[in-house]
Structure 1
Amino acid sequence: MTKRGLYIQMFSIHGLVRDRNMEMGRDADTGGQVLYVVELARHLSRHKDVERVDLLTRRVTDKAVSSDYAEPVVQVNDKFRIVRIPCGGGRYLRKELLWPHLDEYVDKTIQFIRSQDRVPDIVHGHYADAGYVASQLAQLFDIGFVFTGHSLGRQKKERLLKDGMREADIIKKYRIDHRIRVEEDVLKSCDLVVTSTHQEVEKQYGAYTDHHLPERFCVIPPGIDVDRFYPYYHDIAGDNERTEAALFARASVIEEMNRFFMQPDKPLVLALSRPDKRKNISGLIQAFGSDRELSSMANLAVFAGIRKDITRMGDNEQDVLTMMLLSMDKYDLYGKMAIPKQHDFEHEVPELYRIAAERKGVFVNVALTEPFGLTLIEAAATGLPLVATKDGGPRDIMANCDCGLLVDPLNPEEISGAIKTLLTRPDTWKRCSRNGVMNVRKHYTWESHVDRYVKSLRQTLAETGKQGMDVARPSNAIGRRLLRLDRFLITDIDNTLAGEDNSRLDELVRILKENRNRVGFGVATGRTVSSAVAFLKELGVAPPDIVIASVGAELYYGRELQFSNGWATHIAKGWNRERIVDLLADLPFLEYQREETQREFKISYNMAPAKDRIPLIHEILSREKCRYTLIYSHEKYLDILPFRASKGKAIRYLAYKWQVPLSHFLVCGDSGNDEEMLRGDIHGVVVGNYSPELKPLRGRRNVYFAKAPCAAGIIEGLEHYRFLEREGGGKRKKT
């Protein structure tokens, strides 16, 4: 059996993602997750079992950020690319504002996959937003789905409530309830959850009602680049020759910190994090400033992200940075505390750790909650001892490395006491320093992380029976099928596919079966999806690839009837169902149809024909600035849909999403609710038993009026256009 290396698509949608000079701490969305996904992708690309890694993020074209983030594709190395998919416009948006645009992201990612020579074997979503995107793709293409939450909504909501924020404000600002619902759905559908610590599995994921059994979790601590975070004493011994960039970075860091310090040679207490309340920077400053003995024996340096003007930053960052300045003043730490405005992650951060270690200092992370704590293993790798919170990742790190002390982050005396213990006991400091250097290299290298990661992926693919490293194994996933198809036949059901004359229906079914490898079959109907599928089964027609139901209000894929969230999101804009029902409630000639025919995006009435009735409905709805599509068919059915919805618009959406030319669609209908989908570049067929509403289409280009009724008319249209003989639209994807 032919094998091939894994093709992995990782998704990290929010924040600012690039492969070098990462702007760590710029805002709440550009932190440890960005670093982790870039380094994971980079090191995966070096693994022998990995053929290709694409890291997909959002494309940002915004003058407020670097033009780097507008580059569509960046080839990092021969096996690793960063791919930026546009959605929600070009402006840089915080992650909470991206939710309405994620279905657009899914659609455009499908287009990207369509442009490649291969469907990925694995999709890995990082955080809830990317988890949603990855789940949609995994379902369509029947591929492995891995999820890493990084942080979870239930814990955030609980923490904000404890901080005194009103629940209504939390929901409004952070869309937290929506995020939690997405996380629940993602955890139901994913094949594997990769976490950094056992505490995440037990306390964070354990709070979710549908979290997986323990065997569906894989705990793999992140790794670090030990070539960058080498020990401080290697410099002194001359074992590593510094590059010119590192020498410049060291000089720059020392110069910047020394602007703040009256006695720069004192031991250095170092903190490095985003300006986030959860990081508890104010607690560290309180511990340092309120202990006069500590503040007299050491200096404190807090690198809290990147800032230019605090007043132009987000509320969370403003609050944290303002509190830093106020605390500095409160404890009179001028000359003893440095709060630099920026740092270069790639070169300056490793030097920061080594400078602190050379000065026999301590690295402190007393976050209120810490899922892992990547900065802790970076610091420990350079020989800098740690003081860390007793929560989450630091507990695992300290158990593995024995390179510092754990403290209660809410106890300032315990924090200051632990720092003083390390500063005043040389033997303890040396032991922690030595243990950090040795044990980080034992437990936290990228090589070991990636080996375990790839092994877990291969095991997951084998257990789930999904595509992966196996070229020969066929897949019936609807997404893969749609990528392979050359053209589509889309037909109405009632009085088009079937009606009073079904004499040639079996022949049409046979034609579709014989051409199934290149021709997709879909129905576009006024029926609900359940009614349509049941009727097709009754007729002996195989399940279609596509069901456009309820006059275009809903779209479904494959025999599993996967609901198209992308279409629903697309048509929802400007739709107010209740408002339209209220406006038309007093019209005596409208009869509201039974409830089972009504849909979220369709309002259905019975209405007898009369000269001024449709103009009156248009006048009422237009006067009230409603946005809608009105469809009247068979001289008795009136349907009102969102202005973006209809059978024809659904077909155009399919052509756009799956990148199939409209000229490769053959569309068949018989009544007024088919009119729009018969127009334009599509090849249209009006069957012989058509309703009078379609007479105006006679003589139009690309609309053929068949003589025969129903299925016989469809076959006549296929022959008229020579639809099954036409050349395809280019080389199709191998899936």
Structure 2
Amino acid sequence: MGKGKDRNLKDLYVQMFSIHGLVRGEALELGRDADTGGQVKYVLELARALGRRPEVERVELVTRLISDKAVSKDYAQPVEPLSPEARIVRIQCGGRKYVRKELLWPHLDEMVDKTVKYLKKQGRIPDVFHGHYADGGYVARELAAFFGVPFVFTGHSMGAHKKGKLMADGLSEEEVNRRYHIDQRIRVEERIIRDAEQIVVSTRHEIERQYSLYENFAAGHFNVVPPGIDIDTFYPYYQNQFEHNVDEELARQTRVVLLAELERFWGSTHKPFILALCRPDQRKNISGLIKAYGEDKDLQAIANLAIFAGIRKDIASMEENERHVLTEMLLLMDNYDLYGKLAIPKKHDFTLEVPELYRLCADSRGVFVNPALVEPFGLTLVEAASCGVPIVATEDGGPADIIANCDNGILVDPTDSGRIAAACKAILVDRELWDKYSRNGIIGVRNHYSWESHCASTIEVYARAQAAVPKPDPATEQKPRAIGKRLAGVDRLLITDIDNTLVGDEEAMRELLELLDKHRDQVAWGVATGRSLEVTLDVLAKHRIPVPDIIIAAVGTEIYYGPDFGRDNGWQQHLRYQWKPAAIRKALAGLVFLKLQEDSDQHPFKVSYFMDDAEDNLARVHFALQERKLHYTLEFSHGSFLDILPYRAGKGKALRYLSYKWNIPLNRIMICGDSGSDAQMLRGDTCGVVVGNYSRELEPLRGQRKLFFSKQEYAAGIMDGIRHYKFLNSGSRQVTKD
């Protein structure tokens, strides 16, 4: 999509998701931990750069809201502007504490639900959902499916490749899953590859070596779009600050601080130095670089070594992976007796110090090394090259593309310490080669890795993604799973039981359905039933009832959305808390008056029995469950059907969840039922309607506030309730009666 094509300028709304790590607009804490690395820097710069494009009106970078004394208050700010067109939006999920990304998987559906609520409240749906990494990809995929808009994915790294590398390093599959939940991540990535309209990769290597490991690889739509960098920040070492609008005094002070920090470690400060800059992660192979340096006395004589491995305070308090890497660094330093030659500073400021650090390295006629076992792209290599530093990099991954484009360094086998040392020496001792690689890197970055070219390509990817979304069905005017746009556009909801409520009077039912269709821009409607989805669909088809917007099935343990019946995963995740179906069956096994219903009536969140309507049987069930301190909800209906559900479940609780998620107030939800299984959802602040042919189980509810007992039966009773509450009246607020 370029200027003048398909859409007006300045109207594209992009919502990006980068959920883990610490994300803020200034003073990035890159390297603080394994989750706050290059991806954080990339998505922030992408958001700002996209905002400068003429096609883009708004960019929102959605991340996790964190309110934790262990981190800055900046991460608890709900909205942080980045530019007039771009901002960070923080949404809480998984509590308020800062946790590593592997622990966020059970909470991503909460992020989906709260983003839905945010979007409905603001009254506009993004044109593109762009997910970064598997967790952001999961959230973006769910939202894109809800709203029927394009889903674009950038993986940054992929789980299948990581699993293979970790197991090759000696970790067992069990250990890899314990630490990284890798199989769950791979399952999510399989679905992402299948469903994404477009996938952005940095290099061909990502496609060939990472995505090709997936079963759904052939379904992927890949676009190679190398990341960009800010060349006004990463300018060449020989240029003056004023040429790039940089505060000259601040740059000078930054250089002084850096030199003072390095001089604390080095005995001689007049040598060139080898620079490495990365997170303290085993895959970054910092130990390989130290071994290469420590085993080569000539290299030690030629140059100093500086390794900036993240930000650390107390190694003992860090995560296991980071603690191991940093401890190994110190042990290797001691083993090779590198005191006076190896600098390992404890912190660095990525905004101010890192660009100056690259220029210091270039001024010394040094070299930048990325010894990672595999590097999906290598953004630090591009930054260093832009400042004029020649590079030595792993041959496994994106660096091969960078050096192919720029001809500015040497690729090495990262497991061969001799080759790493030889490559560094080759550049350091050959003045002409150093000059060639330095010059080529500066020119190559400007030709291949600017934000301007990166964003132009990204906009084209968005256009391809929009073109790939299925067009509306002429009969329904709905895209598949575009229910989100519909529910975001209505301001009220009608939910009815099926048997003896919606169904029972054919003529009245047809009149009701026509009325709802006439007001479809105002009201969504659905059914609530104890049946499974499959049986419910059969019943609806039998009675020629059109597809509802919502189906609450299996006694409120499942929520589905029309027209293609996508499951609400957020509701499923909500129900898992304290749900122990095996323990429930064991607790009730000795009660002879209970008989398990057929397997087809059992569901993941429902244990169903037949039970005689004896006076004390229900009390005996409660006693058996409470004696074992189990959490549950009981639903008993029609004198014989007992359903045991999670204590968070039930038709009424499902309705309240829908009210929260889709931002529809309870007093704008009308509930219609006829039996005891409807009692829970009829209670509360909704507009309740009991049809005239109701079961005696509902008689105790008579007189309850906001519950109307109609004298009309079946669907006629529903329409009577609509009139009673003036439910379909125009205006911003409907009239409700006690």
Match of 1:388 in 2: 393
Q: Secondary structure at the match of 1:266?
A: coil
Match of 1:336 in 2: 341
Match of 1:124 in 2: 130
Does the 8 Å contact 2:300/2:341 carry over to 1? Answer: yes
* Letter aligned with residue 678 of structure 1: L
Q: Secondary structure at the match of 2:308?
A: strand
Which stretches of structure 1, 4 residues or longer, exceed 3 Å deviation after superposition? 1-4, 235-242, 473-476
Q: Secondary structure at the match of 2:82?
A: strand
* Whole-Å separation in 2 of the counterparts to 1:514 and 1:20: 52
Query: Shift of the alpha carbon at 1:503?
Result: 4.0
Q: Please show how residues 279-358 of structure 1 align to structure 2 within 5 Å.
A: 279-358=284-363
Query: Shift of the alpha carbon at 1:662?
Result: 0.2
* Whole-Å separation in 1 of the counterparts to 2:85 and 2:276: 35
Q: Secondary structure at the match of 1:164?
A: coil
Does the 8 Å contact 1:491/1:522 carry over to 2? Answer: yes
* Whole-Å separation in 2 of the counterparts to 1:51 and 1:374: 27
* Whole-Å separation in 2 of the counterparts to 1:237 and 1:674: 73
Query: Shift of the alpha carbon at 1:726?
Result: 5.7
2:191 maps to which of 185, 188, 196: 185
* Whole-Å separation in 2 of the counterparts to 1:568 and 1:661: 22
- Residues 685 and 545 of structure 1, relative CA distance in 2, 3 Å threshold: same
Does the 8 Å contact 1:234/1:240 carry over to 2? Answer: no
1:269 maps to which of 251, 256, 274: 274
Match of 1:629 in 2: 633
Q: Secondary structure at the match of 1:689?
A: coil
- Residues 540 and 8 of structure 1, relative CA distance in 2, 3 Å threshold: same
Q: Please show how residues 461-610 of structure 1 align to structure 2 within 5 Å.
A: 461-465=466-470, 477-499=482-504, 501-610=505-614
- Residues 597 and 463 of structure 1, relative CA distance in 2, 3 Å threshold: same
Match of 1:449 in 2: 454
* Whole-Å separation in 1 of the counterparts to 2:394 and 2:520: 61
Query: Shift of the alpha carbon at 1:53?
Result: 0.4
The C-alpha deviation readout for 1:256-297, integer Å capped at 9, x for no partner, is 001111111111111100001111111101111110011012
User: Is 2:182 aligned against 1:176?
Assistant: yes
Query: Shift of the alpha carbon at 1:175?
Result: 1.0
Query: Shift of the alpha carbon at 1:242?
Result: 4.8
Q: Secondary structure at the match of 1:132?
A: helix
Residue identity over aligned pairs, in percent, reads 53
* Whole-Å separation in 2 of the counterparts to 1:70 and 1:239: 33
Does the 8 Å contact 1:143/1:466 carry over to 2? Answer: no
- Residues 16 and 115 of structure 1, relative CA distance in 2, 3 Å threshold: same
Match of 1:733 in 2: none
Match of 1:432 in 2: 437
* Letter aligned with residue 523 of structure 2: V
Does the 8 Å contact 1:142/1:466 carry over to 2? Answer: no
Q: Secondary structure at the match of 1:233?
A: coil
* Whole-Å separation in 1 of the counterparts to 2:672 and 2:373: 62
Query: Shift of the alpha carbon at 1:100?
Result: 0.6
Q: Secondary structure at the match of 1:252?
A: helix
Match of 2:3 in 1: none
* Whole-Å separation in 2 of the counterparts to 1:700 and 1:157: 58
* Letter aligned with residue 515 of structure 1: H
The C-alpha deviation readout for 1:557-603, integer Å capped at 9, x for no partner, is 11211100000000111111111112212211112111111111111
The C-alpha deviation readout for 1:644-683, integer Å capped at 9, x for no partner, is 0000000000000011110001101111110011111111
User: Is 2:48 aligned against 1:42?
Assistant: yes
Query: Shift of the alpha carbon at 1:463?
Result: 3.4
Aligned length: 723
* Letter aligned with residue 278 of structure 1: R
Query: Shift of the alpha carbon at 1:243?
Result: 2.7
Q: Secondary structure at the match of 1:287?
A: helix
User: Is 2:239 aligned against 1:234?
Assistant: yes
Match of 1:363 in 2: 368
Q: Secondary structure at the match of 1:209?
A: coil
The C-alpha deviation readout for 1:70-126, integer Å capped at 9, x for no partner, is 100011111001000000111001000000110111000001111223100101111
User: Is 2:405 aligned against 1:400?
Assistant: yes
Match of 2:675 in 1: 671
Query: Shift of the alpha carbon at 1:534?
Result: 1.8
Does the 8 Å contact 2:194/2:219 carry over to 1? Answer: no
Match of 2:142 in 1: 136
* Whole-Å separation in 2 of the counterparts to 1:594 and 1:441: 68
User: Is 2:663 aligned against 1:659?
Assistant: yes
* Letter aligned with residue 608 of structure 2: S
2:256 maps to which of 251, 255, 275: 251
Match of 1:410 in 2: 415
Does the 8 Å contact 1:288/1:416 carry over to 2? Answer: yes
Q: Please show how residues 610-649 of structure 1 align to structure 2 within 5 Å.
A: 610-649=614-653
Query: Shift of the alpha carbon at 1:239?
Result: 8.5
1:23 maps to which of 26, 29, 39: 29
TM-score (norm 2): 0.96
* Whole-Å separation in 1 of the counterparts to 2:244 and 2:670: 71
* Whole-Å separation in 2 of the counterparts to 1:654 and 1:613: 33
* Letter aligned with residue 429 of structure 1: W
Q: Secondary structure at the match of 2:217?
A: coil
* Whole-Å separation in 2 of the counterparts to 1:503 and 1:262: 94
* Letter aligned with residue 25 of structure 1: G
The C-alpha deviation readout for 1:603-639, integer Å capped at 9, x for no partner, is 1111121011000000000110111100100111111
* Letter aligned with residue 506 of structure 1: R
- Residues 635 and 236 of structure 1, relative CA distance in 2, 3 Å threshold: closer
Does the 8 Å contact 1:26/1:305 carry over to 2? Answer: yes
Question: Which 10-residue stretch deviates more, 475-484 or 669-678?
Answer: 475-484
User: Is 2:140 aligned against 1:103?
Assistant: no
Does the 8 Å contact 2:275/2:306 carry over to 1? Answer: yes
Q: Secondary structure at the match of 1:183?
A: helix
Q: Secondary structure at the match of 2:347?
A: coil
* Whole-Å separation in 2 of the counterparts to 1:540 and 1:236: 74
The C-alpha deviation readout for 1:324-383, integer Å capped at 9, x for no partner, is 111111111111110000001011001111111111111111110000000001001111
Q: Secondary structure at the match of 2:239?
A: helix
* Whole-Å separation in 2 of the counterparts to 1:386 and 1:206: 28
* Whole-Å separation in 1 of the counterparts to 2:726 and 2:45: 53
Query: Shift of the alpha carbon at 1:238?
Result: 8.1
* Whole-Å separation in 2 of the counterparts to 1:644 and 1:474: 32
* Whole-Å separation in 2 of the counterparts to 1:46 and 1:149: 24
* Letter aligned with residue 207 of structure 2: V
Q: Secondary structure at the match of 2:108?
A: helix
* Whole-Å separation in 1 of the counterparts to 2:646 and 2:577: 8
Q: Secondary structure at the match of 1:234?
A: coil
* Letter aligned with residue 468 of structure 2: E
Alignment RMSD: 1.6
* Whole-Å separation in 2 of the counterparts to 1:683 and 1:223: 55
Does the 8 Å contact 2:394/2:411 carry over to 1? Answer: yes
* Letter aligned with residue 388 of structure 1: A
* Letter aligned with residue 669 of structure 2: F
